[in-house]
Structure 1
């Protein structure tokens, strides 16, 4: 049976097309009428993968075949829809996760294309927070790479069902079977091959079609743009060994599903009479959907997006196997900061939405991306932000098409959209309706988005005094867009400093300041963001006595400070902040004779202010945080300290909240100077995966040249976080290369060297590892804390930073 799907036929399935005029005077057809798509026909999906696996290339084909674009965007030409920033097009990488909505076979797909570079992990984190499903793109040549494992674990934390697409099978060295083995061995996920590739070695063509194991059909595409897809039934006489391999693959698929799903077992015996080939395609699809939604297995498809092969079946798989918003667990929220509550998906329920991303548009201002978990957001609605406790007014609602946008009347439950007009909302904030008093009083908040700590920083200087305001405004917009970017001012030098996740991250910030925000500024050399701590204990008595605007301001207290390590166990009486343990012993606040006299005289006055115990507590906490924000050596924040404030002495009307905070901050600063301050440097947990023959040279490099501490060595197939992983389970890997002449490329178990290494020693490690392992090694790393550096190293850092 042959079925032809032209672009025109696909486009006609979109509901009520609207012509939207773009800046380049081209026209585009959009599926804009949100009410035509019910929740069961909605898919919120993301494209996740390692850098250069083909995420954006695949997405561009999806948009073309869905009728959203009239030509296929190319990364090399710099004309892709999803990578629209100038920095993205110049570098050929995704930096900003872009959202787009399109229709496919009567369904609505809200798609987010995420970055693959480790410096932009924050973009992936906030995207997967709101996704219902994901498509993981794998490079058929490189297999499962380091950042693939990172984004896979990110999606795993949220329990997101996934399908996999093995891309780039047109390239020399591509190995579909080996990649499937790596999904099982490295990602600890049960791969179910739904297709096997038909390869052609002549003139290096690679993949020329796929065999569908579910329908037992051969799928081939035209050689122009891949928009015409032809299906023919697999036949022994016509397809020879491919047919035999397809039978083997289908039997393996049915057997694997039988291990995971009872429903297919009943079909196998009652309807198919124990014949693997008689199990219907519909029954297989239903079973595949069940095991995918339960995260028991991952359907795997294959192709080459660059050659326009295999993309339409991926879109079909998104509809067939990934969940609608209604099939996902109810969102978890907190009430009063401690209790938990579930937010069921209800179109007519109370409004509850999460702001997961903020971008800045030069004309429209801040654009806040939201996922609506319950209820509906209408135009001109007044919202309440329970995270920052303020009202917000909705000016306009948009449906995004990457850079372009279209006005919509509302955003319904289960959908993703953009709000224009919110002034104070940030990433991770919860929005409810302004008249929902119960949610506001109970401080209802959806789970926040984890924001990683930045590890690098650089100074930024406006080119002139007249540019200061523009630079400050641009940095304000950038930090609102990207929560992993921090901005602060060095008190000694007065310089503005920006900190980010890595070299590329700060380089992109610099480019955007100059190109997007048109600021004239210089960005200094990138440096590592250190921390400070103390080596010994100290106790000081602090006092604050000043006259401010004719009014006396006084307070006294005692501050104790002592260092703690990672193994320190607090008794629960401390406030934990940035690795510090803060204690306040208010007891009976001491009253000086002067205060007692003021009290007696104040009894005749009705306007004598008296601080409440809660105000005093907050003032002390503010003073502690202020004092710990700046160290005595280079002004970096302090960590790994226990600080206690006690014996607070007040002076009636002369004691204010500000005087208490200032007194405590001064006491903390004085105690730090007396407690042997020292520098700490960021420590990374590094996992380096290498062949057994390269272990010696890699360990020697990590422990010697890079000043690291090797803590273990294990096989790359050791059981990981997925408790469902069983090493002895056989998975079906199709034959690689030319089907007639090749067996599966054996997955060679590698060794993983685990080490703790200073971040400063890891700069340029990718090039060093490549030379040590002949290009076969890979690594991943994450910040795990801060470690003390040697005195020689500390002197070198101080001299470098101060310049003397």
Structure 2
């Protein structure tokens, strides 16, 4: 499913891809998401439309730092999960240790549904051979086919050759039933009646597993080696058996402009309601908009209404996607996903309804877009390349909402902001290779933020211009102040709060008969749009503004001359003028970073972080351990890894240490290469934005001087 040339060259997933297939007479819509922190928006928008998820863990590395980030994203959307411990065929794989990490690091109730079986191969090496299904108490054998396509199931009895495997399986089955009985009343009743854990039927155990998984109480855990196609089929079975169908999930709730909530029923005969969660630019078909249909049926050639942009859209084609291959279909029903061709203005997070829907303002909860923290300049090689570059940037920006593109009026440069160094490197490759744009990409810089130190600034602005032979006039008064620490606005306003008090409206005294030509909703929307656009460019270095409270408290209208354009321009100009009178602050991103290294490199890495990089060390841990005293202590069953290793097996892995630190992003540029140098290529790290912190005056002067010298 990794079809981009950049994905194949680097061996990583960069963009989420969708595929639809059948398994056991069920239709499964699968979305493969990246694991790298720079592409967290791909995970965010995919999880937003999922009913369930499979978390794939590395049997050697265990629960990694980025896994915890993605797990937290799934927690926010209450997505039921199962876990699959992959790469059990690699030296150093530890199923039991990984299960314990699921409980400790992810704070989840891990229910072991399989235990691995290790056997010696022809060379005498201990390898992953198969697994025991603890629900059915069967041995799963993939030896019948070299490609792993055939799974032979054999009943596990006391006569099984390896007694250790049988007794461990009995222990695991008893523990599974016992933990289920604590969470599920049906299993408790059956167990009390049978008085024997082993007599609880596999059918009842499966039903209970499904109930506790869908409710989010527990996470079933499986194992395998996907490279050899061992363990894949049982995971697909588990998706059907334990993860919810759309009918098992709570109906989504939309919001009207009035603030009223509306339940969206999952019925094919209801009015259509769908969420656009991804946009991809296809060179042959144009923009492909991926949607999840929540209600109704989406037909080919259907007329739609976008409630976010208030525009009409028409579907030219419906495509069922198989990664980068597509199959044209005539309709898609509630609960499924597909791609639409022909939508011109739909973006990620927009709500689509059918044209004659009774609620024109209905909106589904949108998708949270993370703030970009890296920036670089891009310039066309020649004047003739400027238009193709702008077109390519428009397409890339529509695909990836975590990218920001702004034009710096002072320097004339086009600046791209992204989530990380790799993120912007991929964008650069796509512009040059996929879109064939001739452009020069500048040096990587930090995307700072701006704010003000003043308590409150009052300003009144009169906008009076003639545009295309028509006069545009409007006047408004506003005040700007800094939000208290920890207070912020909604995501669409970039961490700022906008308040509109339009009760004090007036018209010029000399023309008392003039009345507003716009309804109140359009007036408020135009003013808000103007303020938001002004907040994207600060007066100091043109970085976005954050932590501001902007309140418009009076408005003067001039009849038909106070058009939507005039109101938006007046609001933008008023805020820009007010900010230029203020005392500006520059804020830099502070990052929470997690570094995992071998024990012997601990001293040199800690010294580098706390010294050269101006970081604060928050804590140190040994990999696989975690101090979570607030988590309820529970005996978590995990098969001892040594049981399935040969007697002469020696664990050659040395202890690894985990460093948690907080470091200014400016000092993290190029840290990947530096860490590899410090640890002989054995260290790894992930980071995410903690907050934007205020710079000292000396450092602010230095940064302003550097950046005004040119990006």
Taking structure 2 as the reference length, the TM-score comes to: 0.88
Residue pair 2:488, 2:496 contacting (<8 A) in 1 also: no
Matched, 1:320 2:241: yes
Distance 1:702 1:281, change over 3 A: same
Once the two structures are TM-superposed, the CA of residue 756 in structure 1 deviates from its matched residue by: 4.2
Q: Do the aligned partners of residues 217 and 494 (structure 1) sit closer, same or farther apart at CA in structure 2, a change above 3 Å counting? A: same
SS of 2:348's equivalent in the other structure is coil
Distance change in 2, residues 1:475/1:741 (3 Å): same
Q: Is the 8 A contact 1:177 1:736 kept in 2?
A: no
- Answer yes or no: is 1:535 the counterpart of 2:445: no
1:498 is matched with 416
Bigger shift: residues 645-654 or 668-677:
645-654
Listed as ranges, the gaps of 5+ residues in structure 2 are: none
Q: Which residue of structure 2 aligns with residue 227 of structure 1?
A: 149
SS of residue in 2 equivalent to 1:491: coil
- Tell me, yes or no, if the aligned pair for 1:716 and 1:749 is still in contact at 8 Å: no
Correspondent of 1:706 among 600, 613, 631:
613
Which stretch of the first structure deviates more once superposed, 229-238 or 421-430?
229-238
Q: Provide the alpha-carbon RMSD of the alignment.
A: 3.5
Q: Which stretch shifts more, 675-684 or 108-117?
A: 675-684
Which residue number corresponds to residue 358 of structure 1? Answer: 279
2:180 is aligned, of 247, 251, 257, to: 257
Provide the residue aligned with 1:195 in structure 2. Answer: 114
Structure 1 residue aligned with 2:587, among 652, 672, 680? 680
Question: In the alignment, is the contact (CA less than 8 A) between 1:489 and 1:495 conserved in 2?
Answer: yes
Partner of 1:84: 3
Could you give the per-residue CA deviations for residues 229-265 of structure 1, whole angstroms, max 9, x where no partner exists? 2222224342222112212221222222222222223
1:453 to 364, 371, 391: 371
Contact between 2:116 and 2:644, CA under 8 Å: does it hold in 1?
Answer: no
Matches within 5 A, 1:696-775: 702-709=609-616, 716-718=626-628, 725-736=631-642, 738-739=644-645, 741=647, 756-765=662-671
CA contact (8 A) 2:380 2:439 kept: yes
Residues 1:667 and 1:245: Cα distance change in structure 2 (over 3 Å): closer
1:582-625 per-residue CA deviation (whole Å, 9 max, x = no partner) reads 4566675676xxx43445xxx6xxxx665669476666545544
Go from structure 1 to structure 2 and tell me whether the alpha carbon gap of 1:660 and 1:415 turns closer, same or farther (over 3 Å shift): closer
In the alignment, the residues of structure 2 paired with residue 153 and residue 92 of structure 1 have an alpha-carbon distance, to the nearest angstrom, of 25
Partner of 1:69: none
Superposition deviation, residue 176 in structure 1: 0.7
Tell me the alpha carbon deviations over residues 716-738 of structure 1, each in whole angstroms, 9 at most, x when there is no partner: 24167xxxx52233433343463
The yes-or-no answer on 1:244 pairing with 2:164 is no
Work out which of the residue numbers 261, 266, 272 in structure 1 matches 2:189.
Answer: 266
Could you tell me which of 432, 447, 468 is aligned with 2:386? 468
Pairing of 1:278-297 with structure 2 (within 5 A): 278-297=199-218
Distance apart, 1:205 and its partner CA: 4.8
Instruction: Report Cα offsets for 1:105-137 as digits up to 9, x if no partner.
Output: 222221111111111111111111111111111
> 1:383 — aligned with what?
304
Question: Which residue of structure 1 aligns with residue 223 of structure 2?
Answer: 302
The answer as to whether partners of 2:504 and 2:553 remain within 8 angstroms in 1 is: no
Distance 2:199 2:650 in 1: 27
- For residues 748 and 613 of structure 1, the distance between their equivalents in structure 2, rounded to whole angstroms, comes to 70
Instruction: Indicate yes or no: 2:641 matched with 1:641.
Output: no
How much does 1:404 deviate?
Answer: 0.8
Q: Does 1:185 find its partner at 2:98?
A: no
Q: Secondary structure of the equivalent of 1:295?
A: coil
Match among 425, 443, 466 for residue 346 of structure 2? 425
Tell me the distance in 2 between the aligned counterparts of 1:145 and 1:379: 43
DSSP-derived class of the 2:385 partner: helix
> Which SS does the other structure have where 2:440 is aligned?
strand
What secondary structure, in the 3-state scheme, does the structure 2 residue paired with 1:513 have? helix
Q: How far, CA to CA, are the matches of 1:258 and 1:749 in structure 2?
A: 37
Larger deviation, residues 728-737 vs 204-213: 728-737
Task: Specify the alignment match of 1:802 in structure 2.
Answer: 708
**1:577 is matched with which residue?**
493
1:577 Cα deviation after fit: 3.4
Of the three residues 98, 101, 119, the one matched with 2:20 is: 101
Query: Which deviates more from structure 2 when the two are superposed, residues 282-291 or residues 707-716?
Result: 707-716
Q: Deviations over 1:176-214 (max 9, x none)?
A: 110110011111111111221111355545201212222
Work out the CA distance in 1 between the residues paired with 2:412 and 2:537: 14
Question: Could you tell me how far 1:367 is from its partner in structure 2?
Answer: 1.3
**TM-score relative to the length of structure 1:** 0.79
Alpha-carbon distance change, 588 to 101 in structure 1, aligned in 2, over 3 angstroms: closer
User: Aligned with 1:792: secondary structure?
Assistant: helix
Q: How many residues get paired?
A: 700
- CA–CA separation in structure 1 for the residues paired with 2:598 and 2:704: 39
Asked if 1:478 corresponds to 2:399, the answer is no
8 Å contact from structure 1 (residues 560, 645) kept in 2: yes
Query: 1:139 offset after TM fit, Å?
Result: 0.5
Whole-Å separation in 2 of the counterparts to 1:742 and 1:750: 23
Within 1, Cα distance between the matches of 2:465 and 2:578?
Answer: 21
**Residue-by-residue CA offset, 1:731-785 (whole Å, 9 max, x unaligned):** 333434635659999x999998665432212334456667888999865533243
The residue that corresponds to 1:167 in the other structure is 86
Aligned partners of 1:626, 1:104: CA distance in 2, in Å?
48
Q: Deviations over 1:645-683 (max 9, x none)?
A: 567667788877666655554554444344322311122
Residues in 1 aligned to 2:334 and 2:526: alpha-carbon distance in whole angstroms: 42
Instruction: Specify the alignment match of 1:596 in structure 2.
Output: 509
Q: Which aligned pairs between 1:606-617 and structure 2 lie closer than 5 A? A: 610=516, 614=520
CA distance in 1, matches of 2:552, 2:697: 31
Cα separation, 1, equivalents of 2:516 and 2:551: 24
- Tell me if structure 1 keeps the 8 A contact 2:100–2:636: no
CA distance in 2, matches of 1:645, 1:294: 45
Q: Distance in 2 between matches of 1:687 and 1:353?
A: 38
Structure 2 contact 389–437 (Cα < 8 Å) conserved: yes
Asked if the contact 2:301/2:315 (under 8 Å) is kept, the reply is yes
Question: Contact 1:171 / 1:204 at 8 angstroms: preserved in 2?
Answer: no
Q: Are residues 584 and 148 of structure 1, via their aligned partners in 2, closer, same or farther at CA, if it must alter by over 3 Å?
A: closer
Q: Distance in 1 between matches of 2:626 and 2:451?
A: 37
Paired with 1:157 and 1:105, the residues of 2 have a C-alpha distance of 30
**Helix, strand or coil: the match of 1:137?**
strand
* 8 Å CA contact retained: 1:170, 1:205: no
**Does 2:431 match 1:513?**
yes
The aligned counterpart of 2:314 is: 393
The correspondence for 1:525, drawn from 439, 443, 456, is: 443
CA contact (8 A) 1:161 1:295 kept: yes
- Partner Cα distance (2:530, 2:114) in 1: 63
Q: Distance in 1 between matches of 2:197 and 2:502?
A: 75
Partners of 1:113 and 1:550 in 2: CA distance:
54
